[in-house]
Amino acid sequence: MGQNVVVIGAGVVGMGCASYLQRDGHQVTVIDRVEPGRSTSFGNGGGIASTFVLPLAMPGLMKKYVKYYLDPEGPVSLRWSHMPQMLPFLWKFLRNCRPERVKECTEALTSFMPPAYAAWKPLFEEAGLTDLVRAGGGLWIYKDDAALRHDWPFWQGRRDKGLPFEVISDDELRQLEPSISRDYKAAVLETDWHYVRNPYKIVAGLAELVQRKGGKIVLDEVVDFDRGPEGVTAVLTKGGRYPCDAVVIAAGAWSDKLARKLGSKVPLESQRGYHVTLPNSGVDIRHLIIAGAAKIAITPMDMGLRIVGASAFPGIDAPADWRQSEMVLSWGKRILPGINAEGMTQWFGERPLTPDSLPVLGASPHFRNAFYAFGHSHMGLTTGAITGKLIAEAVSHKPTSIDLAPFRIDRSY
Ligand SMILES: Cc1cc2nc3c(=O)[nH]c(=O)nc-3n(C[C@H](O)[C@H](O)[C@H](O)COP(=O)(O)OP(=O)(O)OC[C@H]3O[C@@H](n4cnc5c(N)ncnc54)[C@H](O)[C@@H]3O)c2cc1C
């Protein structure tokens, strides 16, 4: 029988959950303090990168991060006053760089990521969003064959999992994307990737669909929960009380505060990223281009060319540091010489990062009708729909399509 479910968070993950909950016959109310898609899901790189099965924490990563940090043009930045708060997270992150843990996390991500696009397809179709979606993949670019060889363990990890990609020669790269600087002479094509031409419109379109099907969207801030012997009985906001049979916490980088109210302490850090969008770039590209060494991605969008990057850890409430978006732009100029920045807009968003790169999915160990759907770090657009599908299965007491044990909130991070 359909339940009355409150979803907290109207980002891409919350709307993925709301959409699939409706498909399972539930009544849905989505609560967010901002309009759907106006938070982190607004400004991402648009990639549906379903083969991205390796966690961020890898052997040797900390060495790489220190190098990045010391490089003024590098993607990593810290705010030292945030360090004391961040140390426990960093310690857990380091522990996840152990090979045996990397193997476990890769196994879990290999069950979760590859079905991501298939989960999106019916939602895109029902919401009339297919025009915003492009197939044809992502293109990773490298300075030369030696740089690609240096990254080969990453690609071998994919190959070991049977995930497809094609190595592209210098000549083929010129044919695929003539605007890319001649400084890049090797590439890998991710044949299974898709990208969207406006991430915000994807979330807004899903919100419209949810409302058309009888769901409610409420603009308010959740502050607490009413609890009874059977679990959570209502969600309390600044402006009211919303009785529920079940609640889904999909509040992105802010979810730890709400989980704590339900008795679960979870290590969640905001990994801030920046974008610049160039409405008059003067450059035409057909793929989502990734320069792995600089952690930069460039996507052709309806609003112009979007360049995303940076991995900043200033703490979630820190003000913007627009030097980061300048760094992102300067990398964009190196990759696509001659781009025009006139009319550029800039933005930042908070990637919700767990120490093991696995999102938190599934039921609360304390309240049988509270469910978690957060911590999607750099892959929330990719996995918003598969998350929704899994959460709807869990709320409906169906067997879940994949084993959610590695994703539970009370795992050993
Ligand atoms: C620069 C950048 C590039 C990226 N590129 C990609 C990409 O190419 N592909 C990809 O898959 N992912 C990408 N990501 C990651 C992706 O954007 C995120 O993983 C995703 O947006 C997270 O979605 P979410 O719904 O969990 O969070 P959000 O979109 O942040 O939504 C959470 C919502 O919860 C609300 N909320 C929080 N607390 C409360 C409360 N107490 N009461 C009411 N509402 C509350 C917030 O207002 C917010 O709207 C990128 C991220 C960044 C920053």
Chain segment 358-387, per-residue pLDDT in tens = 999 999 999 999 999 999 999 999 999 999
Residue 309 has pLDDT above 90, yes or no: yes
Of 300, 289, 74, 47, nearest in space to 180 by CA: 289
Measured CA to CA, the distance from residue 51 to residue 192 in angstroms comes to 7
Of 350, 387, 386, 111, nearest in space to 248 by CA: 387
Query: 398 burial class (0-12, 13-18, 19+ CB within 10 angstroms)?
Result: exposed
> Could you tell me if the CB of 251 is within 6 A of ligand 1?
yes
Q: In this structure, how many other beta carbons lie within 10 angstroms of the beta carbon of residue 225?
A: 22
Residue 62 has pLDDT above 80, yes or no: no
16 in helix, strand or coil? Answer: helix
Measured CA to CA, the distance from residue 354 to residue 267 in angstroms comes to 6
- Between strands 4-8 and 27-32, the pairing is parallel
408 in helix, strand or coil? Answer: coil
Residue 312 has pLDDT above 80, yes or no: yes
Measured CA to CA, the distance from residue 45 to residue 139 in angstroms comes to 13
CA quadruple 361, 225, 254, 44: dihedral positive or negative? positive
> Could you tell me if the CB of 13 is within 6 A of ligand 1?
yes
Mean pLDDT on 225-238: 96
Which amino acid residue places its CA nearest to atom 27 of ligand 1?
Answer: 252
Which amino acid residue places its CA nearest to atom 25 of ligand 1?
Answer: 11
The phi and psi torsions of 120 (rounded to 5 degrees) equal -70, -35
Query: Residues 20, 391: contact at Cβ < 8 Å?
Result: yes
* Confidence (pLDDT) at 177: 97
Measured CA to CA, the distance from residue 240 to residue 223 in angstroms comes to 10
Contacts of 249 (CB under 8 A, 6+ apart): 8, 9, 255, 258, 259, 262, 370, 371, 372, 373, 374
Residue 64 has pLDDT above 90, yes or no: no
What's the mean per-residue pLDDT of the chain?
Answer: 95
- Which ligand 1 atom sits nearest the alpha carbon of residue 31? 43
From the CA of 402, how far away is ligand 1's center (Å)? 23
What's the pLDDT band for 264 if we cut at 50, 70, 90? very high
Put residue 377 in one of left, alpha, beta given phi > 0 → left and psi -120 to 50 → alpha. left
> Could you tell me if the CB of 221 is within 6 A of ligand 1?
yes
The CATH code belonging to domain 1-57+96-130+192-266+354-413 is 3.50.50.60
> Could you tell me if the CB of 295 is within 6 A of ligand 1?
no
Mutate to test the pocket of ligand 1, among 8, 29, 35, 40 (most ligand atoms within 8 A of CB): 40
Query: Residues 96, 355: contact at Cβ < 8 Å?
Result: yes
Query: Residues 288, 193: contact at Cβ < 8 Å?
Result: yes
* Confidence (pLDDT) at 232: 98
Mutate to test the pocket of ligand 1, among 42, 52, 381 (most ligand atoms within 8 A of CB): 381
Residue 1 has pLDDT above 80, yes or no: no
Residue 153 has pLDDT above 90, yes or no: no
> Could you tell me if the CB of 273 is within 6 A of ligand 1?
yes
- Which ligand 1 atom sits nearest the alpha carbon of residue 46? 8
Of 291, 319, 316, 411, nearest in space to 45 by CA: 291
The phi and psi torsions of 308 (rounded to 5 degrees) equal -120, 155
- The pTM (predicted TM-score) of the whole model is 0.97
Contacts of 346 (CB under 8 A, 6+ apart): 274, 275, 276, 277, 322, 325
* Confidence (pLDDT) at 78: 80
Q: Which residue, chain included where needed, has tokens 């703490």?
A: 315
> Could you tell me if the CB of 225 is within 6 A of ligand 1?
no
> Both tokens of residue 327?
């760094």
* Confidence (pLDDT) at 341: 97
Rg (CA), the chain: 21
What's the pLDDT band for 70 if we cut at 50, 70, 90? confident
Residue 222 has pLDDT above 90, yes or no: yes
- Give pLDDT tens digits for 38-52: 999 999 999 999 999
Query: Residues 151, 220: contact at Cβ < 8 Å?
Result: no
* Confidence (pLDDT) at 81: 87
Residue 317 has pLDDT above 80, yes or no: yes
* Confidence (pLDDT) at 294: 85
> Could you tell me if the CB of 351 is within 6 A of ligand 1?
yes
From the CA of 375, how far away is ligand 1's center (Å)? 9
> Could you tell me if the CB of 388 is within 6 A of ligand 1?
no
* Confidence (pLDDT) at 34: 98
What's the pLDDT band for 136 if we cut at 50, 70, 90? confident
Which amino acid residue places its CA nearest to atom 50 of ligand 1?
Answer: 44
* Confidence (pLDDT) at 37: 98
Measured CA to CA, the distance from residue 357 to residue 104 in angstroms comes to 11
Which amino acid residue places its CA nearest to atom 21 of ligand 1?
Answer: 41
* Confidence (pLDDT) at 59: 83
From the CA of 156, how far away is ligand 1's center (Å)? 30
